[in-house]
């Protein structure tokens, strides 16, 4: 999955220490694939997935809008050239003074999932559009979203009614099917819930206009996943089924799907050892781990493909761990990772599909190790 | 657990956003408590627990030595005034060029747990002292250490024999009973293993001199734990039992025990909401979470005491979560946290016992949020 440009960069520049290299050509291709798959949806790139200025500038030029999680991310999107009308403040958990700062920066679109959040927005961002996030069950996702965000659809009706009563624009409904969602029916179920909220409020004269279908579009890790096109078709069918001829405006918020497969982390094998002479599993220690950018290996949720210079040689299972003095800094242990028996201390390995949710997750200085460096080419 | 100095600082300075405040008087008291409890042990402070320059300078002045995890931490200890002979490179996972850099900085004491690491040290840090880490089962620890570090005692014999053969000083054995270890028998079992290594090698004419008893000394979270004095007595008894009249030099490496209870994180309630009208658990969202410094709430392993301005009012269980758009950013859910029903959005809460393993764990910019700021007073 490492592109020739990434391989050439690493061969020429030979950066010392672990680093992420992101190929903008892949990001561009992904953007166009989403446009083609869902031509009627507006793309709001989830900035949190990878806020590198080069990535944001490219996407702003391509016409993308931006889903942001904080005032700092709003500012990054503005700095990259996005106008405020192309920015959504998509975090349902906001300090009132941050809503106020975003409003001052021109932001008029906010996510909510309770009346308490609606009241903050009504106070300091009057007249803004709000969309209410509904809970989905997240079944089928590799990184399920739990109940942290959203409310049940019946409560979303109350939340949006309250927004309208406080002078806000009750704009729509959002959901998130869970990151790396491979079950296309998840969108169908969630769109059914969204339609229920639309219908109930319509009877009261409140006409919603937008469905924010969130992210969850998978990037290619070890398993093959349906491609963007298949997602587009499934989603369009579900929209037709539930909304008939009155399909609302739709938004999608790809993050991992936009940048995940655009990046590769170069790492080095620091140590290979056993714990006892009769151990049948080797421990392989890399110079990057859970606290250096690979936080999504938590609970071994995401299994990155790893390329080594010895690929093709006979493999055997390894426990894969990071370089810190923290026993939790183990990447794959429950399901050991097969790696070549000939792998040697000092070998460079490529951890693929790491363009999303790596650099910014990285610890600021744990064990004295620097945060993950990134090169965007 | 917030000292009056910390409370006064927060009341006077009123810092915006989440922050850690560390009281150096508590660090000083902890250092003296360890000295008193284990008068014959050398204290090597585990820099990774909290590498704030003020903490390191104070401990250097008090006569502490330092356990470091990387070349950057070696440099921090040197900058704080420690001489190289007071610094141990305690990470068993080291790049050969980092061993070389540490050696160039004067470091002569290295941890190992396999022959591969011994060979690196023999090549680039000739003549240095090495100690081999043995595996302990970690039973009784709140943050168990798994098998990531160390080898079985029988293998430690081979490792140290190999070190001697390569011209290194086979200096001793180390173990770590697991962080926040509350079972005093854990030290007894580990010291028994250490003695076995000593005895076996002595028969071959290799005389070890040192036992590094690691850290694991708990700080006071929600439960009462035996005080330092009790630990000292139990450890001394175990040393007598296993080593008789030939007690070796001993080292301890407190990290959490030195700074954990010296720090308090000030945080703000961003949102309190429910997911459905009939929910019996409130969701309370703070402006700090798993990615902002509270990484040790992973698997709800460590349960910090939280003080609120409404303490004394009737309480009810809450799910406690952080401010990011990441569904994994939930602090306590499996065992909900009891908080006052009167708790209100905007309230400031104090998360106590957070002086260790917080600032440096914090993500560099996840969701655009700044890393945790720290004030050392």
Q: How far apart are CA A126 and CA A312, in angstroms?
A: 62
| Ordered DSSP codes for A116-137 | HHHHHHHHHSTT-EEEEEBP--
pLDDT in tens, A340-377: 999 999 999 999 999 999 999 899 889 999 999 999 99
Report percent pLDDT > 90 for chain A.
Answer: 79
- pLDDT tens for each residue of A268-301: 999 999 999 888 899 999 999 999 999 999 888 8
pLDDT confidence bin for B77, thresholds 50/70/90: very high
Residues 6 or more apart whose Cβ sits within 8 Å of residue B77 = B47, B56, B60, B66, B68, B86, B87
Average pLDDT over every residue of B21-36: 94
DSSP single-letter state for residue A277:
T
Lowest mean pLDDT among A68-77, A249-258, B176-185: B176-185
Contact B188, B238 (CB under 8 A): yes
Structure-token match 């409890």, residue found:
B37
CA distance A262 to A251: 22
Which pLDDT value is given to residue A327? Answer: 87
- Token pair for B39: 């008068």
Distance CA B225, CA B280 (A): 33
pLDDT value for A217: 76
- Please write the tens of the pLDDT for every residue from B122-160: 999 999 999 999 997 656 655 555 789 999 999 999 999
- The answer to whether B367 and B11 are in contact (CB under 8 A) is no
Average pLDDT over residues B354-368: 92
Q: How far apart are CA B250 and CA B239, in angstroms?
A: 10
The mean pLDDT of B214-222, rounded to a whole number, is 69
Pick the residue with more confidence: B364 or A123?
Answer: A123
Question: What pLDDT digit, counting tens, does each position of B321-334 carry?
Answer: 999 999 889 999 99
**B222: confidence class by pLDDT, cuts 50, 70, 90:** very low
Beta bridge partners of B273: B283
- Nearest chain A CA: its distance from B169 CA (Å): 21
Cα separations (Å) of B270 from A121, B23, B242, B356, B368?
13, 26, 54, 24, 16
For the record, the structure tokens of A291 come out as 């606290």
Range 169-188 of A in CB contact (< 8 A) with B: none
Q: Look at residues A233, A114, A92 and name the one whose alpha carbon lies nearest to residue A162.
A: A114
Query: What ipTM is given for this predicted complex?
Result: 0.93
For residue B152, with 0-12 CB atoms within 10 Å meaning exposed, 13-18 middle and 19 or more buried, which class applies? Answer: middle
- Using a CB-CB cut-off of 8 Å, the residues of chain A touching B216 are none
Q: Give A244's contacts (C-beta < 8 A, 6+ positions apart).
A: none
Task: Look at residues A220, A178, A169, A175 and name the one whose alpha carbon lies nearest to residue A194.
Answer: A175
| pLDDT for the residue B280 | 84
Question: Which residue spans within chain A are E strands per DSSP?
Answer: 19-22, 41-46, 65-68, 87-89, 109-112, 129-133, 141-143, 169-174, 179-181, 210-212, 249-252, 263-273, 282-286, 306-307, 315-321, 330-340, 348-352, 373-376
Contacts of B152 in chain A (CB under 8 A): 275-276
B52 neighbors B374 (Cβ within 8 angstroms)? yes
For chain B, what percentages of helix, strand and coil (3-state, to nearest 5) are there?
35, 25, 40
Average predicted confidence (pLDDT) for chain A: 92
To test the contact with chain A by mutation, choose from B66, B149, B161, B368 the residue with the greatest count of A C-beta atoms within 10 A, namely: B368
Q: How many CB pairs under 8 A join A and B?
A: 206
User: Which whole number is the average pLDDT over A72-92?
Assistant: 98
| d(C-alpha B125, C-alpha A77), whole Å | 49
In the structure encoding, which two tokens stand for residue B339, read together?
């908080």
What is the overall mean pLDDT for chain B?
A: 92
Q: How confident is the model at residue B279 (pLDDT cuts 50, 70, 90)?
A: confident
What are A198-207's pLDDT values in tens digits? Answer: 999 999 999 9
Of the listed ranges A86-90, A133-137, A191-195, A275-279, the one predicted with least confidence? A133-137
Q: Is B113 exposed, middle or buried (0-12, 13-18, 19+ CB in 10 A)?
A: buried
Residue A346 C-alpha, separation from nearest chain B C-alpha, in angstroms: 8
Chain B residues within 8 A of A364 when measuring between CB atoms = 359-360, 362-364, 371
B144 touches chain A (CB under 8 A): yes
CB B286 within 8 A of CB B320: yes
A203 in helix, strand or coil? coil
Q: Residue B28 and residue B35: Cα distance in Å, rounded?
A: 11
Distance, CA of B153 to CA of B174 (rounded, Å): 10
Cβ of B325 and A69 within 8 Å?
Answer: yes
Q: Which residue, B334, B325, B319, is CA-closest to B363? A: B325
Of the partner residues B152, B274, B368, the one whose CB lies closest to the CB of residue A275:
B152
Smallest CA–CA distance, residue A169 to chain B, in Å, is 21
CB neighbour list of residue A195: distance below 8 Å, 6 or more residues apart:
A242, A243
The residue written with tokens 């969630």 in the block is: A190
> What distances in angstroms separate CA B327 from CA A138, A148, A174, B291, B304, one per listed residue?
11, 6, 16, 11, 20
Q: Say how far apart CA A138 and CA A9 lie, in whole Å.
A: 38
**What HEC string does B97-165 produce?**
HHHHHHHHCCCCEEEECCHHHHHHHHHHCCCCEEEEEECCCCCCEEECCCCCCCECHHHHHHHHHHHHH
d(CA A265, CA A374): 9
What percent of chain B is modeled with pLDDT above 90?
79
Average pLDDT over residues A138-145: 57
Instruction: Express each pLDDT in A86-111 by its tens digit.
Output: 999 999 999 999 999 999 999 999 99
Q: Model confidence at B289, in pLDDT bands (50, 70, 90)?
A: very high
Share of chain B above pLDDT 70, in %: 94
Alpha-carbon radius of gyration of chain A:
22
Interface residue of A18, A89, A93 to substitute, partner B, most B CBs within 10 Å:
A93
**Residues of chain A positioned with their CB less than 8 A from the CB of B321:** 93, 148
Q: DSSP states of A218-268 as a string?
A: PP-SSS----HHHHHHHHHHHHHHHHTT-PPEEEE--SHHHHGGGEEEEEE
Do B297 and B267 meet the contact criterion of CB atoms below 8 Å apart?
no
pLDDT value at position B220?
A: 61
| Residue A279 in tokens | 């151990």
Of the given ranges (A143-152, B9-18, B83-92, B234-243), which has the lowest mean pLDDT? A143-152
B50: tokens are 């909290």
| Residue A164 burial by Cβ neighbours in a 10 Å radius (0-12, 13-18, 19+) | middle
Please determine, for residue A145, whether its predicted confidence score (pLDDT) is greater than 70.
no
Domains of chain A with bracketed CATH? 24-259 (3.20.20.10), 261-376 (2.40.37.10)
Other CB atoms within a 10 A radius of the CB of residue A12 amount to 7
The per-residue pLDDT for B219 is: 64
For residue A222, the model assigns a pLDDT of 45
* CA-closest candidate to residue B74, choices B111, B115, B106: B106
- Across the interface, of A135, A148, A155, the residue whose CB is closest to B330 is A148
A215 pLDDT band, cuts 50/70/90, is confident
Residue A329 CA to residue B324 CA, distance in Å, equals 22
Backbone angles phi, psi at B132, to 5 degrees: -105, 130
Per-residue pLDDT band for A142 (boundaries 50, 70, 90) equals low
The two structure tokens encoding residue B22: 């560390």
Residue whose tokens read 């270890």: B181
Q: Which of A49-58, A211-220, B103-112, B293-302 has the lowest mean pLDDT?
A: A211-220
């Amino acid at each position: 999955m490492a592109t020739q440009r990434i391989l050439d960069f690493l061969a020429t520049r030979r950066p010392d220490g672990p680093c992420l290299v992101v190929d903008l050509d892949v990001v561009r291709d992904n953007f166009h694939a989403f446009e083609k798959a869902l031509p009627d949806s507006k793309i709001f790139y989830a900035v949190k997935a990878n806020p590198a200025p080069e990535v944001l500038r490219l996407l702003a030029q391509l016409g993308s809008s931006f889903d942001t999680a904080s005032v700092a991310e709003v500012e990054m999107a503005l700095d990259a050239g996005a106008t405020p009308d192309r920015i959504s403040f998509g975090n349902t958990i906001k300090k009132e003074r941050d809503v106020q700062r975003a409003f001052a920066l021109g932001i008029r679109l906010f996510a909510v999932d309770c009346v308490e959040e609606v009241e903050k927005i009504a106070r300091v961002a009057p007249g803004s559009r709000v969309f209410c996030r509904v809970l989905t069950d997240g079944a089928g996702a590799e990184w399920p979203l739990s109940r942290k965000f959203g409310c049940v659809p019946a409560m979303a009706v109350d939340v949006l009614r309250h927004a309208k009563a406080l002078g806000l624009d009750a704009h729509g409904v959002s959901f998130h099917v869970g990151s790396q969602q491979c079950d296309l029916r998840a969108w169908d179920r969630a769109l059914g819930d969204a339609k229920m909220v639309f219908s109930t409020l319509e009877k009261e004269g409140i006409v919603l206009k937008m469905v924010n279908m969130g992210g969850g579009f998978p990037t290619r890790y070890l398993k093959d996943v349906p491609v963007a096109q298949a997602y587009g078709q499934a989603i369009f069918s579900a929209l037709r089924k539930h909304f008939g001829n009155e399909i609302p405006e739709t938004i999608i918020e790809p993050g991992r799907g936009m940048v995940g497969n655009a990046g590769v982390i170069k790492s080095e094998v620091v140590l290979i050892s056993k714990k006892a002479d009769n151990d049948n599993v080797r421990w392989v220690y890399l110079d990057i781990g859970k606290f250096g950018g690979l936080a999504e290996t938590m609970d071994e949720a995401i299994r990155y493909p790893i390329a080594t210079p010895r690929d093709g040689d006979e493999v055997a299972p390894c426990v894969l761990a990071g370089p810190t003095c923290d026993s939790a800094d183990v990447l794959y242990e429950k399901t050991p990772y097969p790696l070549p028996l000939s792998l040697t201390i000092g070998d460079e390995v490529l951890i693929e599909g790491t363009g999303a949710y790596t650099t910014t997750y990285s610890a600021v200085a744990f064990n004295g190790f620097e945060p993950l460096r990134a090169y965007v080419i």
